[in-house]
Amino acid sequence: MARIRAIKPDFWTDEKVVDGCFYIYVISEHEDRFQSPCKVGIATNINKRLSSLQGGNHRQLHLHSQITINDRFEALEAEFHCLSKYKSKRLMSEWVDTSAESITNSLINFLNADEVRFKKDMK
């Protein structure tokens, strides 16, 4: 089962990078978490990642949630599952035409469902 270390919705933190941690983030161009589109991704330093994304976007980006996970493969599988689930709503790359709320709920449900396979298959 995935080990979710923390779920932080609706606020930005200046927390330091923690070695061995991976963050699944959900951002959008809207402050309202029920509007679309949004982007789901993985980073080891969320502040640096948001800053790099903001540099290429003329609209203000908002972090809606970040899920801290210890295992890189679990983070990758959760991201892949989420992007696959919303395949018909994908706009470009990791941008999806659905709400940050829906994406966050999908990630949490997947991580809590003990469906993580990458780590198990690699043994």
**Cβ atoms 78, 27 nearer than 8 A:** no
Confidence band of 24 (pLDDT split at 50, 70, 90): very high
User: What's this model's pTM, rounded to 2 decimal places?
Assistant: 0.74
pLDDT at 20 over 80: no
Confidence band of 19 (pLDDT split at 50, 70, 90): low
Of 80 and 15, the one with more pLDDT:
80
Burial of 77 (0-12, 13-18, 19+ CB in 10 A): buried
pLDDT digits (tens, 9 = 90+) for 102-120: 999 999 888 887 654 444 4
Buried b (16+ CB within 10 A) or exposed e, 46-64: beebbeeeeeeeeeebbbb
